[in-house]
Amino acid sequence: MTKGAIFDLSGKSALVTGGRRGIGLAIAHSLAEHGADVTITGTQGGEESVEGFPLRRMQLSDPASIQALADGFDGLDILVNNAGELIREGKEYEPDNFDRIIHANLNGTYRMCHAFRPHLEARRGCIVNVVSMRAFIGSPLGPAYGASKAGIMQLTRTLAIHWGADGIRANAVAPGWTRTDMNISVQQDADAAAEIANSAALNRWGEPREIAGAVVYLASPAASFTTGTCIVADGGFMA
């Protein structure tokens, strides 16, 4: 085996949901750098591609759009469920908002896995679900977000067990505080940003590409005997 071949994704097709920016876009670039043919999804139409990646429109809360997306693929080797929603300022405690986030994040992720299962089974592919450290610790201002991510983590384990005999691996990556547009307001609060950095063992925030590295590993031949697990990439925050 040549040097680096254990991470070689040449000839593999990958789909990254929520890939227009942030962690999703970093994942798309990292998978492509290792040889994968990558497509991304976004909720908005009007663009055919983002930074060279074909863009397909998809809404996690709309089962029909998920199925239409799957029907448009001839095959798939790597499914990265990165897309998700949250509502800030404690508003997820309102029952309708709680339902909305659970429906999009948890139910939407399962529907993606279900819709693409035939493609993944045919190619003995893999699923990588992007969860959050909030899957493991409390989320006082985002009860639905935290619950949905914990649910996705349990779903990942269950799919790994149930679909393993079909050759499908299912794993997760749990990012900690990472510099993205989603948390720009926190980054701009100097005191809050410093407190978060100081709470991590590495004394800093993460960068999107550092999360992407864990996804590349789980999608690659290097992780061929790894399923039903989660890599926590939080700079030692939970430690």
Q: What are the residue numbers of the active site? A: 145
Spatial distance between the Cα atoms of 84 and 175, rounded to a whole number of angstroms: 13
Q: Is 61 exposed, middle or buried (0-12, 13-18, 19+ CB in 10 A)?
A: middle
Query: Are the CB atoms for 151 and 207 separated by under 8 Å?
Result: no
Spatial distance between the Cα atoms of 200 and 138, rounded to a whole number of angstroms: 16
**DSSP-based three-state secondary structure for 59:** coil
- Nearest-CA neighbor of 7 among 34, 28, 38? 34
- Nearest-CA neighbor of 175 among 202, 203, 205? 205
81: which 2 tokens? 């469920």
- Nearest-CA neighbor of 237 among 192, 199, 193? 199
- Nearest-CA neighbor of 238 among 129, 151, 135? 135
